[in-house]
Amino acid sequence: MAEKEKRTILDMRVAGKQYKEISAQLGIDVSALKMFVHRQKHNDVKQCVQCKKVLPKDARKPQRFCSDKCRKRVTQPRVYIIPSQAVLSVVFELAALFFRKVRSAVSSYIAQGLMREYEVYDPSNTR
């Protein structure tokens, strides 16, 4: 098999095609395809991190991506555009919930402190 055929076979397998489909398309025996793919699995075939294409072995240094397009998709930060009204409504709801919790905790703490500090004399309570 030529190198181009080998790459085509591996790309088709990565894409999810079955052996029968590949053999019909390329005119290669199914058993030969299975044997080739099996050997390649144990041959450390390098694939692109993004699109899973087979990378060439003749590179000077080990590659992770097949193209700049794939590299940029993985390495550049993603920017999500969220409507400002939705963000503000969520922030305000969370802030309101937080301040309700804090207010109740602070008010009970203050009330307990004041009750301890300014105890009213109760004659029935003898120590």
Residue that is written with structure tokens 């055929």 in the block: 5
Q: DSSP string spanning 63-76?
A: -S-SSHHHHHHHHS
- Helix ranges restricted to H, the chain: 3-14, 19-26, 30-41, 68-75, 84-117
pLDDT digits (tens, 9 = 90+) for 90-102: 777 887 787 777 7
| Tokens of residue 24, six digits | 């019909």
pLDDT digits (tens, 9 = 90+) for 13-43: 888 888 899 999 989 899 988 888 888 775 6
Predicted confidence at residue 116, as pLDDT, reads 58
- Does the pTM surpass 0.75? The reply is no
